[in-house]
Amino acid sequence: MQKIVPFLWFDNQAEEAANLYTSLFKNSSMGSVSRGPDGTVFMATFQLDGQEFMALNGGPRSQFTEAVSFFVNCETQAEVDHLWNSLTADGGEESMCGWLKDKYGLWWQIIPTILGDLMQDEDGEKAGRVTQAMLQMKKIEIADLLRAYEGAVA
């Protein structure tokens, strides 16, 4: 068992959310589901790409904020698109610079790995153009980042 495990407080959608998340990421699986005396789900455990998580149905008292989010490194635009579309579906919300809130209120950053590489380029002018392009985006588009890097007008 890993030493530090993210513990997510849901109103009453812990199992539903865990099922969605495990369907989206490779090397993911549901763990145990604990039920209360009335048979309703109390807590669920699951893994996302080998990372352990716990989810609690704790009621509406606590809600997620963007102060805590999950940063997802994506290798391709297809991966960005798949995760973005899946996590914003059915009531999720797009935000700026690769951030989104899923239908359960949990915040995610869906970021192509190349973004960090381009923003850290030794050529400050190129890196600055990439940063400015990213600041105009909701979902990050790799082709637009590369055009900005090369100095092409979008």
CATH no., domain 64-154:
3.10.180.10
Domain boundaries, the chain: 1-62, 64-154
105, 63 contact by CB (below 8 A): yes
Q: Do 64-154 and 1-62 fall under one CATH topology?
A: yes
Looking up tokens 């959310």 gives: 17
Question: Taking the model in full, what pTM does it have?
Answer: 0.94
Instruction: Give residue-wise pLDDT tens across range 81-124.
Output: 999 999 999 999 999 999 999 999 999 999 999 999 999 999 99
pLDDT computed for residue 9 by the predictor: 98
If pLDDT is split at 50, 70 and 90, which confidence band does 152 have?
A: confident
pLDDT computed for residue 153 by the predictor: 62
pLDDT computed for residue 84 by the predictor: 98
46, 29 contact by CB (below 8 A): yes
Q: Span 4-25, mean pLDDT?
A: 97
CATH architecture of 1-62: Roll (3.10)
Instruction: Give residue-wise pLDDT tens across range 32-91.
Output: 999 999 999 999 999 999 999 999 999 999 999 999 999 999 999 999 999 999 999 999
Alpha helices in 4-141 (DSSP H): 14-24, 77-88, 113-119, 124-135
Q: Residue 1 carries which side chain, given as an amino acid letter?
A: M
If pLDDT is split at 50, 70 and 90, which confidence band does 1 have?
A: confident
pLDDT computed for residue 62 by the predictor: 94
Q: Is residue 154 predicted with pLDDT exceeding 90?
A: no
Structure tokens at 62: 């606590």
73, 113 contact by CB (below 8 A): yes
